[in-house]
Structure 1
Amino acid sequence: MKYYLSSYKFGNKIEELKKLIPDNNRIGHINNSRDWVGSDLERANKHQNEEIEFLNGIGFKAEPLDLKMYFHKKDDLRNKLNSLGALWVSGGNTFVLRMAMKLSGFDEIFKELKNKTDFLYGGYSAGICILSDSLKSIENVDDPNNFPYEEIDKPIYEGLGIYNYSFMPHYDSDHFESEAIGKEIQRCIDNKWLFKALRDGDVIIEE
Structure 2
Amino acid sequence: MSLTSGPGRVAVVANAADGWPPAARSSAVLSEIRGLRDLGFDPFELDLRAFVDRPADLDAVLDSVPTLWVRGGNTFVLASRLEQCGAGDAISSRVRGGSLVFAGYSAGACIAQTSLHGIELADDPAEVRIATGGEVTGNGLGLVDLAFVPHYRSILDDLGAGPSMVAGYERDNVPHVTLTDEQVYLVDSDRAERI
TM-score above 0.5, yes or no: yes
Match of 2:15 in 1: 32
After TM superposition, give the deviation of residue 116 of structure 1 in Å.
3.8
Matched residues, percent identical?
28
Q: Which moved more, 1:76-85 or 1:102-111?
A: 102-111
Match of 1:108 in 2: 89
After TM superposition, give the deviation of residue 174 of structure 1 in Å.
2.3
Structure 2 unmatched runs, 5+? 189-195
Distance 1:24 1:43 in 2: 27
1:42 to 1:198, Cα distance in 2 relative to 1, 3 A: same
Flag as ranges the 4+ runs of structure 1 deviating above 6 A: none
After TM superposition, give the deviation of residue 197 of structure 1 in Å.
0.4
Structure 1 unmatched runs, 5+? 1-16
Match of 1:139 in 2: 120
1:10-159 mapped onto 2 (5 Å cutoff): 17=1, 19-22=2-5, 25-36=8-19, 39-146=20-127, 147=129, 148-150=131-133, 152=134, 154-159=135-140
Question: TM-score w.r.t. structure 2 length?
Answer: 0.89
Distance 1:198 1:89 in 2: 16
Count of residue pairs the alignment pairs up = 186
Question: TM-score w.r.t. structure 1 length?
Answer: 0.84
Distance 1:44 1:149 in 2: 14
Tell which has more relative contact order, 1 or 2 (C-alpha 8 A, sep 6+): 1
Distance 1:63 1:87 in 2: 10
Match of 1:176 in 2: 157
Residue 121 of structure 1 aligns to a residue whose secondary structure is: strand
Contact 2:8–2:41 (Cα < 8 Å) also in 1: yes
